[in-house]
Amino acid sequence: MTTLICRASASRTAATALLRAKIGTGFPASFTSTALHLKETSDPRITTDSHGRIIEDDYATIRDNYETPKNPVILAHGLFGFDELHLVGAKIPGIHYWRGITDALAAKGIEVITATVSPSGSIEARAAKLGENIEMKAAGKSVNIIAHSMIGVGIDLCDLTGLVLTRRSGLDSRYMLSRLKPPNVKVLSLTTIASPHRGSAFADYMIEKIGPYQLPKVYKALEFFGLETGAFSQLTQKYMTENFNPKTPDREGVRYYSYGATVEPSLWSMFRQSHRIIEKLEGPNDGLVSVDSAKWGTYKGTLKDVSHLDLINWTNRLRWYVWELTGNKRNFNAIAFYLDIVDMLAKEGL
């Protein structure tokens, strides 16, 4: 199990302040024109006039019966992801990335394996580690990978508010399957949940706002905390559409599924700025990843009124409490969602 222990320091606070100072709210003219050009020349597999099946309340409650897949399920986290995060020391119970999801799947008789890779390495390095992790933990069994991915800002862990946080385990998995092809890793399917397969306008925006002269300083600040920085430039739309995707075709014999989500952030939502930027340049999104970017392989549908953190059960309970007090019905339960994914895999014979 991986643990990450955060330490308070003046240097860390200074690094955060440095990045905040470089992030504004306006759109640089060069950024806007570049992003719009990339959208116009995007991957032809994008269906720009449809979000697929709109999923409104299919996963509001947990059903009594779910089928169990024949093979283990790998849960793959993204950049800055973790099995368990310790904020105040290893002896205090930590925060679980797959909040309640792993236990719920195991309770239904599903063999669950959590893959752990380096928190902030490049796609290539993380993909290699992912392959090693699966080889060791699956012990020769065929597996189904479920990967959640995120690009974010404003995560308040360890006072890192304002840093660009990127989670994109779906991309690591695709690279491992297509480019590395580890001989002792047998993958039957890859299901990606809000993975930025075509990059993110928000990643472009952040890099543009920081600027070429300040970016090395930000990277140096991140490296001071032991974080690698190779992944950040890999989440731009240009890199994904012109470099990564053309060189990373789907692997024959592996089934690819994907889900996206949309949300309308509240006034107090941490996703307000990122959602506004992405919506302007890419369209509907979950606050961090657009629907168009999330589509890959067989697109299973778009979850309505579900944020990026809702997707891994990091839902704000106060939000749902207020929502229900005003007469609204809760429309999404992350555990029901993951149980339905494995039910789908079982029915596909996987």
Residues 110-168 have pLDDT tens digits of 999 988 777 667 889 889 989 999 999 999 999 999 998 743 332 222 322 222 333 45
Q: Which two tokens stand for residue 39?
A: 């959208």
pLDDT over threshold 70, residue 338: yes
**What's residue 7's pLDDT?**
37
Q: Which of 235, 218, 214 is nearest to 227 (CA)?
A: 218
| Least confident residue range of 64-78, 144-158, 185-199 | 144-158
Q: What is the distance between the alpha carbons of residues 127 and 170, in angstroms, rounded to a whole number?
A: 10
**What integer best gives the mean pLDDT of the chain?**
76
| Topology of the domain comprising 3-41+51-347 | Rossmann fold (3.40.50)
Confidence of residue 62 (pLDDT cuts 50, 70, 90): very high
Residues 235-280 have pLDDT tens digits of 889 999 999 999 999 999 999 999 999 999 988 888 899 999 999 9
**Within 13 Å, how many C-alpha atoms sit on residue 191's CB side?**
20
Confidence of residue 225 (pLDDT cuts 50, 70, 90): low
More confident residue, 47 or 187: 187
Planar angle of CA 348, 293, 260, nearest 5 degrees: 50
Kind of pairing between the strands at 142-152 and 165-168: antiparallel
Confidence of residue 208 (pLDDT cuts 50, 70, 90): confident
**What's residue 33's pLDDT?**
45
**What's residue 219's pLDDT?**
59
Question: pLDDT exceeding 70 applies to what percent of the chain?
Answer: 63
What mean pLDDT comes out for the span 59-83?
Answer: 79
Cβ atoms 274, 153 nearer than 8 A: yes
Residues 174-188 have pLDDT tens digits of 999 999 999 999 999
Question: pLDDT exceeding 90 applies to what percent of the chain?
Answer: 44
